[in-house]
Amino acid sequence: MIDILGIPVKSKLPLEFVSVLEEFDGITLMQKMCDIDSPHQTYLKTWVDTDRKSKTTRYLVFRCDEHDLSTYLNNEVTLLWLMKQLLPNELVFFIDEQGGEEHASVMCVFAKNIPETYMPMEESWYE
């Protein structure tokens, strides 16, 4: 896994599960979440990496406009396009989950510092 340079977050993110949007081989690739305090704030939690040795799965969590999410789910735009809508200084989160432990570690990062290898491919259409 790539080392993430960011600010460690000590507490659990105040996000609530809404729905699974994509799964593969028992791994959740994408879920829709919302802010517990502001349910109209939509977030996407997307899989970006797995370290089989340490049994750690890394997810990227970012805020997403509900209309933009709808266009993605209707195959009008790609996941890459959604992520490119983030402002460079907008905050995103990397969550490492180990075993069944949610939020084993959380890092807060500026969107401009998302490693290139964690960006989706050009043809990252919703399936």
pLDDT in tens, 2-42: 999 899 998 888 888 898 888 877 667 788 888 888 878 89
- If phi > 0 it is left, if psi is from -120 to 50 it is alpha, else beta; for residue 118 that is alpha
CA dihedral sign of residues 9, 67, 90, 30: positive
- Token readout for 83 is 């992520």
Q: Closest by alpha carbon to 1, among 97, 100, 111? A: 97
CB atoms within 10 A of CB 57: 20
Contact 105, 8 (CB under 8 A): yes
Residues 21 and 97: their CA atoms lie apart, in Å, by: 19
Q: pTM, whole model, 2 decimals?
A: 0.90
Whether the per-residue pLDDT at 100 is higher than 70: the answer is: no
Helical H segments across the chain, by residue range? 66-73, 79-84
Question: 38 or 103, which is more confident?
Answer: 38
